[in-house]
Structures are given as structure tokens and as C-alpha cells.
Amino acid sequence: MLKINNLHASIEGKSILRGIDLEIKPGEIHAIMGPNGSGKSTLASVIAGKEEYEVTKGDIIFEGEDIGELAPDERAHKGVFLSFQYPVEIPGVSVTNFMKTAINETRKAKGLGDMPAKDMLKLIRDKSELLEIDRKFLSRSINEGFSGGEKKRNEIFQMAMLDPKLAILDETDSGLDIDALRIVANGVNKLKSNNNAVLVITHYQRLLDYIIPDFVHVLLNGRIVKSGGKELAHQLEEKGYDWLKEEVNA
């Protein structure tokens, strides 16, 4: 589904990603772990198409197509979704209207007409129940005055609404208490199928107790230095990252 080859990216001349190789197949859950500043969030942003980053080398193949030159909205139309570490507040646009616009723009890009209002309502109802979101919440301006947990739950609600092929969850566990974490993870697990894939980006192993990865990759200094199964996450939780740093330097 996603194949990243020798990806290098920089921002304002500063090189952040220095040769990433990653392949994600349908039905898989991958986790990327790493200390602060290792390039985790940059990788998420570059896959989603953030223009501030310059891809200096390598390519991003999604569903057999090089998407490196596509705008973020075009990538979204193809099925890439990014759950933000810090979701952005948009005063004056309600959650419902935001989602209606997003879904109908995606349909438009596929040559379809607007989703009938009845279907839209049903979709919103079903997905808000899945994430245990109060209906009143949906008429509020998006992310404005939301608590950390509400923001993250709202991200996964949007993911559920848009039904992407690849969901990238950037530090979705940060700012979540244990109940919110359970709801969010539960939502992600219910949305998981053999046809889609999830890339979890996290600093801590905690989230991976709930969203169990098939593969764990460790990112250090803009490179994947180690890959393994879910046991690698536990190892990192116990031993931290220093031993890996030493291994890399040696």
C-alpha cells in the first residue's frame, strides 16, 4: 500500500529525514517510535504532503503511484489520513460542517455528487457513537476549546468519517487520560480491516498496549535504525533509546 524509498527531507535547509525505507501492506499496523527530535512527526507530515518540507531525495509510492508531487488534499482523496499531534482550532466552522465539506470535496474529486443529507446524518450518527461523542459536541467549532482528549477523539472521529486506506496517527496518545486512550484505541481497532493500514507514531509504548502493532520501527536521527515485532516496543519501554544510540554509533 505504502512504499517509501530512501526518503530524504529537509526544512529551511536543515536535513531531518536521512534515508527512510518503509513498506506497509494492507491489513498491517506499523508503529514508529523514537525520541524527541528523531523526525517522527516530520515523516508523518511529509507523507501527508506538508509543503514546508522539501523532499530532497527518494520517493513515496502509495497504491503504486508516486504521490510525492501531490497536494495534501489530493493525497487525502487517494486515502491518506493524518491524525494531528496538535489538531488545529478553526473558529466558526462546526465539526459537522467541516466533515460535510471534507466528504463532499472528496466525493467531488472522485466525480461523485454530494452525499445525500440522510446518508450523511446516518454516517455522522454511527461514527459519533463509535467514538462515544456527544451529539452537542458536533455543532461546536472544530477543536475550539476542546480538551486534549476531545481533540484526539475528534481526530479519530474524522478518520472514521473519511474511511482512509492509510491512517497515520501522530502522537495520538499525548494528552489522553486512560479512559480517552481506551476509547480512541477501541475506535481505531474497530475501523481496522484487511484492506486498510495504520501507521502509529508514538514516543511511548503505552498506546501500543491497545493498538497492537505488527511491526515496530525505531527512528533515530532521521533514519530507521531497527525494526522488529511488538516485543521491540516493550524492550524500548524497559531500556529506553540510549542502547540503540550506542549500537548505531558503534
Partner 1 sequence: MDLKDKLVSSFMAFEDRVDVDTYVHDVRSEAIKIFEEKGFPTKKEEDWKYTSLRSILKEDYSVFPKHENTTEYRDVKKYFIHDIDTYNIVFIDGKYSSHLSQTTHDGMDVCLMSAAFSKPKYRLVIENYFNKAATKDSLSSLNTAFSSEGAYIHIPKNKLVEKPIQILHFSTGHESALMLQPRNLIVVDENSHVQIIERHQSLTGNPVLTNSVTEIFANKRAIVDYYKIQNDNKNASLIDHTFIKQKQESLASVHTFTFGGKLTRNNLNFYQEGQRIDSTLKGVTIIGDKQHVDHNTLVHHIEPNCESHQDYKGIFGENAKGVFNGKVVVEKEAQKTNAFQANNNILISDKATINTKPQLEIFADDVKCSHGCTIGQLDESALFYMKTRGIPEKEAKALLMYAFSNNVLSSVKIPEIKQRINKIIANKLGVRIGFDL
Alpha-carbon dihedral angle through residues 77, 185, 157, 201, given to the nearest 10 degrees: -40
Q: How many residues bind partner 1 (CB under 8 A)?
A: 36
Whole-number minimum distance, CB 226 to partner 1, in Å? 29
Query: Rounded distance, CA 215 to CA 224, Å?
Result: 12
Q: Which is nearer to partner 1, 49 or 58 (CB)?
A: 49
Phi/psi of residue 111, nearest 5 degrees: 80, 20
Q: Does 109 bind partner 1 (CB under 8 A)?
A: yes
Would the CA dihedral through 134, 138, 140, 141 be positive or negative? positive
Our CB check for partner 1 shows the closer of 28 and 155 to be 155
Residue 105's H or E segment, with its range, is helix 95-109
Radius of gyration of the chain (CA): 18
Q: In whole angstroms, what is the distance from residue 132 CA to residue 183 CA?
A: 7
Report the site for partner 1 in 153-172 (rule: CB under 8 A): 158, 162
When the beta carbons of 83 and 205 are compared against partner 1, the nearer one is: 83
Strands 80-83, 29-33: pairing kind: unpaired
Residue 248 contacts partner 1 per CB under 8 A: no
Which of 77/234 has CB closer to partner 1? 77
- Cβ neighbour number for residue 152 with a 10 Å cutoff: 27
174 sits near partner 1 (criterion: CB under 8 A): no
77 binds partner 1 (CB under 8 A): yes
Q: Map the footprint of partner 1 across residues 122-151, applying CB under 8 A.
A: 141
Interface stretch with partner 1, choices 57-65, 102-110, 128-136, 210-218 (CB under 8 A): 102-110
| Contacting partner 1 within 8-47 (CB under 8 A) | none
Report the 10 Å Cβ neighbour count for 110: 8
Q: Can you give the binding site for partner 1, defined by CB under 8 A?
A: 48-51, 71-73, 75-77, 80-82, 84, 87-93, 96-98, 100-106, 109, 114, 141, 158, 162
